[in-house]
Amino acid sequence: MTYTVKEIYLTIQGEGVQTGVPAVFLRFSGCNLWSGREVDRKEAICKFCDTDFIGINGVNGGKFNTADELASVVEKIGVKSAQKWVVCTGGEPLLQLDTALIHALHSKSFKIAVETNGTIKAPKGLDWICVSPKANTEIKQNFGNELKLVYPQSENEPRKYENMDFDFFCLQPRDDSYLGKGNISHEKAVIDFCLRNPKWRLSIQSHKYLGIA
């Protein structure tokens, strides 16, 4: 298949259980819950996404004809990192991440993490699965390493996921910056919830506070 990639860059994981870990971020274009265009946001299934995943115009973005070609670019970008992690994200990465690319990245000695909305079953061979479920969707990837729920979401209470097979349960304040608002009120709500429900831990988007991608 041809892989359509928005951007690839070396950074520090800014949120969730692996906060602080150096990684190559491989952001695929496209999502199955929103077009990425503001004109479609009100009608989208996921209305609060804060990420630009349209097109191939980001740093190192493009169309890659083979898994080996894409894995070689990831290797060049990640050569400075002692911890060989690649985080496959989007949009929705499981629309494109397949067995061929998993094998190609493993052949370059990378561990592979995926950040998915959970509506598509993950292929075998991934080293870290983070599912971020959205309201009004069917979760097909109901197990993994980390469930990271953006909070609050209408009709999507944290307790509905507590019996799923994940090692960690993270609650992350919803970022309403797309509305021209901050998320301070949501941070307080998440902290209060975690204090009352110790199964959940706070996840902060530290990369935004630090001003890194």
Along the 213 residues of the chain, how does pLDDT read in single tens digits?
899 999 999 999 999 999 999 999 999 999 999 999 999 999 999 998 989 999 999 999 999 999 999 999 999 999 877 779 999 999 999 999 999 999 999 999 999 999 999 999 999 999 999 999 999 999 999 999 999 999 998 789 999 999 999 999 999 998 887 676 666 679 999 999 999 999 999 999 888 878 887
This prediction has a pTM of: 0.94
| Structure tokens given for 132 | 């971020």
| Residue 187 to residue 1: CA distance in whole angstroms | 41
Residue 205: CATH number of its domain? 3.20.20.70
Q: Which of 2, 40, 50, 167 is catalytic?
A: 50
Q: State yes or no: is 25 an active-site residue.
A: yes
Q: State yes or no: is 51 an active-site residue.
A: yes
Tally of CB atoms within 10 A around 55 = 14
Q: Which of 28, 46, 146, 169 is catalytic?
A: 46
Q: Which of 7, 15, 25, 130 is catalytic?
A: 25
Residues 23 and 11: beta-carbon distance below 8 Å: yes
The residues, any chain, with a CB within 8 Å of residue 190's CB and separated by 6 or more, are: 151, 171, 172, 173, 202
Q: Which of 28, 49, 110, 169 is catalytic?
A: 49
What is the H or E stretch that residue 144 is in?
A: strand 143-151
Q: State yes or no: is 194 an active-site residue.
A: no
Which domain range does residue 118 map to?
Answer: 3-210
Q: State yes or no: is 31 an active-site residue.
A: yes
- Strand partners of residue 27: 7, 89
Angstrom CA distances, 51 to 37, 67, 108, 177, 191, stand at 11, 24, 28, 11, 24
Q: State yes or no: is 167 an active-site residue.
A: no
Q: Which of 4, 11, 19, 51 is catalytic?
A: 51
Q: Which of 15, 28, 31, 119 is catalytic?
A: 31
Number of domains composing the chain: 1
Query: What count of residues does the chain have?
Result: 213
Q: State yes or no: is 207 an active-site residue.
A: yes
9, exposed or middle or buried, with CB in 10 Å at 0-12, 13-18, 19+?
Answer: middle
